[in-house]
Structure 1
Amino acid sequence: MAFLCAPGLTFFLTYSIFSAVLGMLQFGYNTGVINAPEKNIENFMKDVYKDRYGEDISEEFIQQLYSVAVSIFAIGGMLGGFSGGWMANRFGRKGGLLLNNVLGIAGACLMGFTKVSHSYEMLFLGRFIIGVNCGLNTSLVPMYISEIAPLNLRGGLGTVNQLAVTVGLLLSQVLGIEQILGTNEGWPILLGLAICPAILQLILLPVCPESPRYLLITKQWEEEARKALRRLRASGSVEEDIEEMRAEERAQQSESHISTMELICSPTLRPPLIIGIVMQLSQQFSGINAVFYYSTSLFMSSGLTEESAKFATIGIGAIMVVMTLVSIPLMDRTGRRTLHLYGLGGMFIFSIFITISFLIKEMIDWMSYLSVVATLGFVVFFAVGPGSIPWMITAELFSQGPRPSAMAIAVLVNWMANFVVGIGFPSMKTALENYTFLPFSVFLAIFWIFTYKKVPETKNKTFEEILALFRHNNGRSMLNCTNSLEPQSMNSGIEHAALMVSEEKTQHDSPASERFLEGGRSTHQGRSAASAPHHPRQPPPVCPSSGP
């Protein structure tokens, strides 16, 4: 990763990034930790139910209870992600992260003491609270990292978030094998280990400075911002950064903030909003979280032993880490739309192979291994495309004015879809049996067609050029317009915001309104990303999905 050798990556900046990114490791860990000990947790629930009511619980009801334990995490994430912007502005980026660790510790303790208390309701509550913690992390961590990083590192450091998620996912899967903590006695410790990233961040983060952009633009504390920058840059010369932030502040003042309702009702902003929403659905309804949450039981149903299934699940985590590293240089070289099409297409093909392996596993003994290979291939193509590109494209479709509202809607849709998959997959698996992945295949085909027909390429395009793709479409396929505009260099240090923010508010019905407001990118609001004024357009830092 070339950005690791880039100028500006000082020791103290690296320390600050590591301290913050522990929040994303927490998110990845809690996404995957519920997978391996599924049978152990179900046995615990059966014992509690029998002790309480004196009768055995039905298999259908135990599946419903387990799916609640899985999916209530997404409900918490929805709440946390949606309130991240408010918390960042109220307490600061660093302050919000520190306070959020209280939730992380509380949730981990509740999950860790579930068996001692002999109450599966405590597990539900713990999963909900840790979900709120992770939802806040997915908003606060990328925001903090992008605001402390120098301009030349912001794009590369956006991938550090996704990398931390995949490392957390792999760690949870390794610790969940039977030889370590995947036992009837060890699973509460496995879930309770979520306390470690929270405590470590509480120890490391206080030494780090608050975001200089927050100090200067939100709080108007210029001297404090200068001190923070001197520490992060290991240099006394910070005038360029200060002027950069002043330019952002002026740009922020020149571009009006767009509320959620104004965004939904705007005829100009509605097409990119629809694309952003469908892109989020393509990530969650691809079936990836069915794999993350239930891969162990899926592999067992395909004919593997429980131990082999857990090792295959570890393979999924390892593949995610490797492919995240591989996809970093591809992101800017190949283009977002192209990679997303490759990703969805590959996932569609391997989802068909998964269904085939389920159908003929009784006839051919080695077919269970095909299901493992097909699932690994499914994950590879997810990492190539739908893993991070929906967030990147959603952020790039909007200028700074409407972006906070657009990203808030994207967060809500993403976590809601995550919840639907988490709560519905066990019932779907029971009803469809060997055809479990067929609905995901259908969704993948639909999303591929939508992406091919409607989604523009945003790589190296300014907001003006992206808006032109929508405004001058005139009924033609978006594909025909995708490459019609070459990247243009900006005439000033501040990018032109291209979504006609103020005219929308005063001239809703005026088709002749072709003027573009000048504005730059400013500080984060909600899940939006901050970027500094510059000549070549840098993509906004990307928040990872609620499915890694």
Structure 2
Amino acid sequence: MPQYLKLLLDYPVVIAAIVVSGIGGTFQYGFNVSVMTSPSAFIKELVNTTCRRRYNVTLEQWQLSLIWSFTVSIFCIGGLLGSLLISPLLSKFGRKQCLLLNNAVAITGAALMLLSQTANSFEMIMVGRFLYGINSGVSFSVHTLYLTECAPKRLRGMVGVTVSTFISFGKFCGQLLGISELLGTEGGWPWLLGFNGFTALLQLSTLSFLPESPRFLLLDRGDRPACEQAVRRLWGNKDCSREVEEMLEENATLQSVRSHSVLELIQNRAVRWQLLTIVVIFTTLQLCGINAVYFYSFEVFRAAGIQDQQLRYAALGTGLCEVFTSVACFMIIENTGKKVLLVRGYLGMSVTLVLLTVTLYLQSHVSWVPYCSMTLIFFFIFFFAIGPAGAASPLPGELFTQSFKAAGYTVACSLNWTGLFVLGMVFPVLADTLHYFCFLIFLFFCGGCALFVRFNVPETRNRTVLEIAAEFQRMHSKSGESQREKMSEQKASGAQTHETKL
């Protein structure tokens, strides 16, 4: 671990890219996921006040709940739209320009949030949430892709984990700024909801000083001098000739091969296992139960004797736990590898879900059991942040060659946003019907994903995209070892010139 951290410190421009792209990237997603809890009472009051003044109507409770649910959920609809825009935006503007242009969407949304109370318009909050969703949907993919393409191969795993670190940090900041001592007040909540605009301005003012992704410049634009200049700016005087040669090899392989659409990705049998891996992992990422555990954490904290007015401070502890664990994942991933972290993380989450179901069932019968439940909640967050949260985000960029990357991220992020939206709609019903036994449903997804990754996905650490593609084919080839030998012969003879044979 120290050797990789020391190695990263030798790349100060890469560290700057991590911070700058993160603060206006997945930080926005994490912040928006957690920020709506604190000002909910003030926003509902604004909805009631607006309807009385504008329409002379007093809303019933179910009508108010419906408007509130739509206000929260429209963020996911915007995120899904942003995910669908990724492929054409990346092809036209590139990684850096996408991030820069995306900040304008966040700043517009923030302006609507800041003015909503003055204008007595809850509709402005809805539109702002929708724009925040588009911003988060685009930045979730582009931030990840930009970082992993700017990092040296031996640090790609460590740098990729920072994507989830900024998500966790965003969640924690949303919880922290939402307390009543800061912006969680009647006068401060518009500034709380508009905070994303400040982080967007920060990225907008600093990202322009960083270079574009070297891989994009070479493989998409075919501009080798610009690629070499970007490498020198990012990596300094380090000897990175081998990695440039690997990019050139991939460039030679992809000559005359254009970027593929999502439909072409789905239809291409040569990458079906990579696509299936993305589908399984990103579906499970939302259906693993992390949101359910956060939901039930308040019930557990109450049972453990924590007063209602102190619950938000206890929630800060869960957010802080996720941040620290994500940092720990950042430290160990280069030595451990993504496959091991995914398998161990989901297995640990599976065991924890079983024990948590048992303790929640017994907490009204045994006085000390709520403390066990509280401990298990922190264990579950630990296993999530140390494994799936850190290892999953960069996978589309590692499993697919350059012409399939944009489509791969479109599929991954669309699944992520769809899962978040469906869970937001369905989970309240599950919670009311099954109560804590709903964890058994999430147990199925966690255990199934762990087994799938264990037997069907190769390790990606210190491997190029072409090497990973060859390993997928070896693992799932009917002819087994003979196919591996055949591929080795093809590689040695230079006959492997078309991407779909990889």
Kept in 1, the 8 Å contact 2:116–2:122? The answer is yes
1:140 equivalent in structure 2 = 142
Shift of 1:409: 1.7
In the superposition, relative to structure 1, how do residues 472 and 416 fare at CA in structure 2: closer, same or farther (>3 Å)?
same
Distance in structure 2 (CA, Å) of the matches to 1:236 and 1:271: 35
2:188 equivalent in structure 1 = 186
Distance in structure 2 (CA, Å) of the matches to 1:468 and 1:397: 15
State the TM-score, normalized to the length of structure 1.
Answer: 0.77
Amino acid of the residue matched to residue 389 of structure 1?
Answer: A
What SS does the corresponding residue of 1:180 show, helix, strand or coil? coil
Aligned positions, number: 492
Distance in structure 2 (CA, Å) of the matches to 1:72 and 1:396: 31
State the TM-score, normalized to the length of structure 2.
Answer: 0.83
Shift of 1:452: 5.2
Q: Deviations over 1:498-522 (max 9, x none)?
A: 9x854xxxxxxxxxxxxx55xxxxx
CA RMSD of aligned residues (A): 3.8
Deviates more, 1:314-323 or 1:424-433: 424-433
In the superposition, relative to structure 1, how do residues 290 and 194 fare at CA in structure 2: closer, same or farther (>3 Å)?
farther
In the superposition, relative to structure 1, how do residues 395 and 32 fare at CA in structure 2: closer, same or farther (>3 Å)?
same
Q: Deviations over 1:21-73 (max 9, x none)?
A: 22222222222222344444444445545554533422x44444333233222
In the superposition, relative to structure 1, how do residues 12 and 410 fare at CA in structure 2: closer, same or farther (>3 Å)?
closer
**Does structure 1 residue 67 correspond to structure 2 residue 69?**
yes
In the superposition, relative to structure 1, how do residues 185 and 353 fare at CA in structure 2: closer, same or farther (>3 Å)?
farther
What SS does the corresponding residue of 1:388 show, helix, strand or coil? helix
Shift of 1:314: 1.0
Shift of 1:101: 0.6
Shift of 1:197: 0.8
1:57 equivalent in structure 2 = 60
Q: Which has the higher helix share?
A: 2
Map 1:215-234; keep pairs closer than 5 Å: 215-234=217-236
Kept in 2, the 8 Å contact 1:399–1:497? The answer is no
Amino acid of the residue matched to residue 349 of structure 2?
Answer: M
Shift of 1:472: 2.8
1:439 equivalent in structure 2 = 441
Shift of 1:232: 3.2
Shift of 1:99: 1.0
Map 1:313-328; keep pairs closer than 5 Å: 313-328=315-330
Distance in structure 2 (CA, Å) of the matches to 1:259 and 1:236: 36
Deviates more, 1:306-315 or 1:363-372: 363-372
Kept in 2, the 8 Å contact 1:296–1:310? The answer is no
Distance in structure 2 (CA, Å) of the matches to 1:243 and 1:379: 41
Shift of 1:376: 1.7
2:288 equivalent in structure 1 = 286
1:468 equivalent in structure 2 = 474
In the superposition, relative to structure 1, how do residues 73 and 493 fare at CA in structure 2: closer, same or farther (>3 Å)?
farther
Shift of 1:347: 2.0
Distance in structure 1 (CA, Å) of the matches to 2:381 and 2:435: 21
**Does structure 1 residue 19 correspond to structure 2 residue 20?**
yes
Kept in 2, the 8 Å contact 1:319–1:380? The answer is yes
What 5-or-longer segments of structure 2 have no aligned partner?
Answer: none
Distance in structure 2 (CA, Å) of the matches to 1:453 and 1:151: 25
1:82 equivalent in structure 2 = 84
Amino acid of the residue matched to residue 389 of structure 2?
Answer: G
Distance in structure 2 (CA, Å) of the matches to 1:369 and 1:344: 23
Q: 2:421 aligns with which of 397, 413, 419?
A: 419
Q: Deviations over 1:88-131 (max 9, x none)?
A: 33223222211111011111222233333333322221111111
Kept in 2, the 8 Å contact 1:72–1:131? The answer is yes
Q: 2:125 aligns with which of 105, 109, 123?
A: 123
Q: Deviations over 1:382-415 (max 9, x none)?
A: 1122213344555555444545433322221121
Runs (4+) of structure 1 exceeding 6 A deviation are 236-241, 488-498
Shift of 1:78: 1.8
1:247 equivalent in structure 2 = 249
2:6 equivalent in structure 1 = 5
Amino acid of the residue matched to residue 170 of structure 1?
Answer: F
1:276 equivalent in structure 2 = 278
Q: Deviations over 1:228-249 (max 9, x none)?
A: 4443344499877765544342
Shift of 1:170: 1.5
